[in-house]
Every structure is written in structure tokens, then in C-alpha cells.
């Protein structure tokens, strides 16, 4: 069976270029020189359209409608493509391997998927690390596995998530910030923004988990929960990114302690569970801000810490609720496990922050402590 002949339009080709092997149906080739061509094959089993050059830098549309490209797709004045990357839109780039960038960038602005296997969709958003995803306008997803959806939001810690209509920030690993101007800055912290209160501020809510281990009778700060904890668990009284507003914040705190190493008065397996309902008031001042802790049920100030007294602890004996334990010794108000709050009043984005501390009355017992902090609400003034 003779090979099909090719109708050639353009430059000359040798006799072999006139044939399509094993194909008895005719085909068309638009040819210019030795390397540039458009080839159309019409056999039932081999229909295809090939655009490109014989060296392999081609685009292969087969009989089933599948489109294969040997290089990245560059559309609408895009530039800078990584291997197998796709960039569609005006003024955008996809320099990351297997990256996808879809959208638009104005002159002088950036919209890019520069991380490996990253995705940036929208207007002037950035996905700049491995597996990062940024969808929306003016968003930044800058760390591995981070996801941001919305407008002007940031997910700038590993595996962090920010989802908001406007300006959410998730800056702690494995943290989530969801809602208008919500901020999550600790590992495993979740924050939720809510409706605005007039023009003065908004109400917000978040959840935080911390843990630590005590081996003596030293007051020990709760640590963030990531990988067993490496830094102190700092709780801000408000999620707002503004520094010039006071806030009233309501917290529910639950703490569980379990003895894992024998002590002089605590046995392995002894435990203590307790709760606190607290209101914390942060008074902003450009000179000397102050912070107060109230027992939420009585309205009594149980701690106050102006700037000059930063670092002092406020014990929480009077605020304990729902105490559960297996021995009276571990639950004793002065010789058992003692909780306290360290208040800070730095005039900064960490305004009115605090940390929960635990102290064992048994100086030789090893005790694991876990806290669950639920910010019921926060109102900016």
C-alpha cells in the first residue's frame, strides 16, 4: 500500500516530506523551509493537526480532541513561564514549574504564580511558594501550602488559610483567619471576623490551643501547640490590625492537667480540669496603655497591669469554675496546680496581649498541661 501524498504550500521539501507513512488518505502541509510547518493528517486512525517544528517544540491536536503542548502556554502578553506552567492574562507571570496564573495585572503591579505547583487567580495576587494558592484581588500566599481567598488578604505562614472579603491575615503555621479584618497569628489559632459596629470597630472571635510541661514548681507559660510547642502562646485582646483602638474581649478558658511523672504529693494519673470566664479590657493610649482582667460573672477586677508592671502574674483562684479532679491535693487553691495570667501592654500590633501560665505545687512531679481558649467576642472602641 502506497504512502499518502502530501499537498505542499510554501517552500520546497524533499521527496520524503511528501509522504505520510502508513496513511493512504491525503494530507496537507503548509511548509516554509526545513523546520516550520503546519501539518494536517486525515487518516481515520491518525487525524491530527500539528503546529510547530519537527524538532519537538509542537502543539499535537489528536483525533479525540486532546491538545498536547510541549512547552508552556503563554497568552495575552504574559511572560516568564516555568516548566509545564500556564499564564493567561495581561501582564502576569507563571515562573513556577507546573504553576498556573490566570488574571490581570496593571502597569507596575504583579500577578504571579512563582512557586512550584502554585496557583494565582484574579487581579494582582501572588502565590510565591510551593503548593500556594491565591484567589482574588491583591492577595498574597507566600508560604508552602498556604491558601488565601478574598481581597487584600495574606496567608504568610506554612499551611495557613485566610478567607475574607477584605484584609484577613493568617501568619501562624496551620492557622486560619476567616472574615473581615480577622487576624490569626499563632499556630493552630482560628479567628473569625463578624459584622461592623457602626464606624468604630467590629466584633470578632477566635480559638487557640496551647500546651506545656512542668517538672518543678516554676510558673510556666503555655506554648503554641505546633510540634509540642516552641514559643509562648501569646493571646491578643483583639484581632484588629489597627493600633489606635481600645477593646473589650470576652474569653472562656479551659485547662486540663495530667500527671505523667511521679512526684512527692501527686501520683501518675492524677488530673485537674477547670474553666475560667474572663473579660479583658485594653485601654489604648499613645503614652501608657493599660489592661485589666475581670471575673466575667462578678465584674470584679482581678488583675491590672499598666506598662510599668509588665511581666507580673495575676492568679486566677477566685475565677475557677467547673473544677474536676481525682484528688483534693491537685485541686488545692495554693498547693495544687495554680493558674495565672501574665498581662502585657506594648503599644504595638500585639496590643493588650496575655499568656496563661501554670505552676505545680509539687516540685518533683512531671505534669502535662493543655489549654483551650475560646474568644467569645471582641468589640473595638
Instruction: Express each pLDDT in 8-18 by its tens digit.
Output: 555 555 555 55
> Could you tell me what percent of the chain has a pLDDT over 70?
69
Diameter of the chain by CA atoms? 101
Does 3.90.1580.10 match the CATH number of domain 73-184?
A: no
280-325 confidence digits (pLDDT tens):
888 877 777 788 888 866 778 888 876 556 667 888 888 899 999 9
In degrees and rounded to multiples of 5, residue 307 shows phi and psi of -55, -35
Going by C-alpha positions, the residue among 230, 274, 246 that lies closest to residue 372 is 274
Residues 45-83, buried b or exposed e (16+ Cβ, 10 A)?
eeebebbbeeeeebeeeeeeeeeeeeebbbeeebebbbe
Mean pLDDT of 219-244: 72
154-175 confidence digits (pLDDT tens):
999 999 999 998 888 898 888 8
For residues 233 and 372, which has the higher predicted lDDT (pLDDT)?
A: 372
Mean pLDDT of 340-352: 68
Least confident of 57-71, 135-149, 176-190, 289-303: 57-71
For residues 60 and 1, which has the higher predicted lDDT (pLDDT)?
A: 60
* 3-class state of residue 180 by DSSP: coil
Per-residue pLDDT for 197 more than 50? Answer: no
pLDDT in the model for residue 315: 86
pLDDT in the model for residue 79: 66
pTM as predicted: 0.69
Mean pLDDT of 232-249: 72
Rounded Cα distance, 337 and 329, in Å: 9
Instruction: End-to-end CA distance of the chain: give it in Å, rounded.
Output: 88
Sign of CA dihedral 60, 66, 70, 74: positive
Mean pLDDT of 135-144: 95
Domain boundaries, the chain: 4-69, 73-184, 200-380
In degrees and rounded to multiples of 5, residue 308 shows phi and psi of -65, -15
Please, what is the average pLDDT of the chain?
79
In degrees and rounded to multiples of 5, residue 189 shows phi and psi of -100, 140
What would the DSSP string read from start to end of 39-73?
EEE--TTT-EEEEE-TTS-EEEEETT--EEESS-E
Rounded Cα distance, 19 and 2, in Å: 9
> Could you tell me what percent of the chain has a pLDDT over 90?
37
Least confident of 52-56, 124-128, 196-200, 312-316: 196-200
Per-residue pLDDT for 200 more than 50? Answer: no
Amino acid at each position: 500500500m502506497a504512502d499518502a501524498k502530501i499537498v505542499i504550500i510554501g517552500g520546497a521539501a524533499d521527496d520524503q516530506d511528501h509522504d505520510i507513512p502508513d496513511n493512504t488518505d491525503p494530507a496537507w502541509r503548509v511548509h516554509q523551509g526545513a523546520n516550520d510547518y503546519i501539518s494536517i493528517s486525515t487518516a481515520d486512525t491518525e487525524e491530527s493537526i500539528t503546529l510547530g517544528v519537527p524538532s519537538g517544540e509542537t502543539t499535537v491536536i489528536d483525533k479525540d480532541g486532546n491538545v498536547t503542548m510541549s512547552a508552556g502556554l503563554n497568552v495575552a502578553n504574559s511572560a516568564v513561564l516555568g516548566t509545564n506552567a500556564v499564564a493567561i492574562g495581561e501582564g502576569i507571570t507563571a515562573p513556577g514549574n507546573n504553576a498556573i496564573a490566570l488574571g490581570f495585572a496593571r502597569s507596575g503591579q504583579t500577578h504571579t504564580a512563582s512557586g512550584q505547583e502554585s496557583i494565582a487567580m484574579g487581579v494582582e495576587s501572588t502565590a510565591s511558594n510551593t503548593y500556594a494558592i491565591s484567589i482574588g484581588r491583591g492577595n498574597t500566599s507566600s508560604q508552602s501550602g498556604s491558601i488565601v481567598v478574598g481581597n487584600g488578604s495574606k496567608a504568610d505562614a506554612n499551611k495557613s488559610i485566610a478567607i475574607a472579603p477584605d484584609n484577613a491575615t493568617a501568619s501562624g503555621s496551620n492557622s486560619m483567619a476567616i472574615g473581615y479584618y480577622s487576624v490569626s497569628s499563632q499556630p493552630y489559632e482560628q479567628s473569625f471576623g463578624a459584622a461592623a459596629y457602626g464606624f468604630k470597630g467590629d466584633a470578632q472571635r477566635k480559638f487557640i490551643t496551647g500546651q506545656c510541661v512542668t517538672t518543678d514548681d516554676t510558673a510556666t507559660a503555655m506554648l503554641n501547640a505546633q510540634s509540642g510547642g516552641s514559643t509562648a502562646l501569646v493571646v491578643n485582646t483583639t484581632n484588629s490590625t489597627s493600633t489606635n483602638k481600645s477593646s473589650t474581649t470576652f474569653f472562656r478558658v479551659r485547662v486540663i492537667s495530667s500527671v505523667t511523672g511521679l512526684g512527692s504529693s501527686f501520683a501518675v494519673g492524677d488530673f485537674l480540669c477547670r474553666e475560667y470566664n474572663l473579660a479583658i479590657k485594653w485601654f489604648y493610649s499613645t503614652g501608657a496603655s493599660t489592661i485589666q482582667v475581670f471575673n466575667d460573672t462578678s465584674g470584679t477586677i482581678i488583675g491590672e497591669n499598666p506598662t510599668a508592671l509588665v511581666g507580673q502574674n495575676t492568679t486566677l483562684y477566685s475565677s475557677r469554675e467547673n473544677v474536676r479532679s481525682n484528688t483534693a491535693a491537685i485541686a488545692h487553691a495554693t498547693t495544687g496546680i495554680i493558674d495565672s495570667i501574665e498581662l502585657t501592654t506594648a503599644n504595638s500590633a500585639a496590643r493588650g496581649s496575655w499568656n496563661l501560665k501554670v505552676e505545680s505545687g509539687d516540685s518533683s512531679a512531671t505534669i502535662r498541661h493543655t489549654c483551650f481558649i475560646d474568644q467569645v467576642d471582641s468589640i473595638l472602641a
